Amino acid sequence: MTIPTLIVNYQKKQTISKLQKANSILSNMTMMLHSDGVYNSLSGVVNADKSEAFYKNYVLKYFKSPQVSPDEVCAYPDSDVNCYIYKYASGSNSLYSGAVHTKYSASRVFFTTADGISYWFLNMHWVSNDDDSGESHAEYTANPEIFVDLNGIAGPNTFGKDVFRFRADFGNGVVKAQCADYTMDQINEDCSTSGAGYCCAEKIRRDGWKITDDYPF
């Protein structure tokens, strides 16, 4: 076996190990927040102070030594001015969900734990106003998106390689990889060298927590 092959195999094992660890932590956190019922306190229009208190009092305690990125400060040194840092599995730039940083006024928090894994929570959605203005406002959701960057702020910051998507369900106490309700054909189409890579965590899970030969690693 050649040195490059050994390196790739090692990287794959590390990816699986860290992804399983992150999945386990997120599952425990979601289950406990459901059991405690504290997620019910996060409802209505998004408020910065309320968001910060929720993350600090109820979420961060499930992670080891979390270092929270300052509010509205990009943690990625190589990003553009807007902190659009993530890339699709295909290699093209992604503008998904805007700037990747803590922003309590939008119920977002970005932090890195002692093991070097970074997490980005997005706990809001847009709701149309009940008037004719055509405008909308941000409200909390019980189904936040969670992005996991397995090697922190280091590159390549690419979906399916070091960045993976999950979605929590506080109401039912479960967390699932993005695309959990997709068919395998849909997952394989997305998690490919021509796709976005949003479904790659679910592909790895369905393949028995393995990175198979058709995986765009």
DSSP string, 2-52: -HHHHHHHHHHHHHHHHHHHHHHHHHHHHHHHHHHTGGGGS-SB--HHHHH
Query: Where along the chain do its domains lie?
Result: 3-206
Residue for token pair 């997490």: 119
Task: Give the tens place of pLDDT for each residue, 104-148.
Answer: 999 999 999 999 999 999 998 778 776 666 678 889 998 999 999
Task: Give the tens place of pLDDT for each residue, 59-108.
Answer: 999 999 999 999 999 989 888 888 889 999 999 888 665 689 999 999 99
Residues 6+ apart with CB under 8 A from 208: none
- Total length of the chain: 217
Give the pLDDT confidence score for residue 97 in this predicted structure: 54
Supply 145's token pair.
Answer: 């998106």
Kindly report the pTM of this predicted structure.
0.93
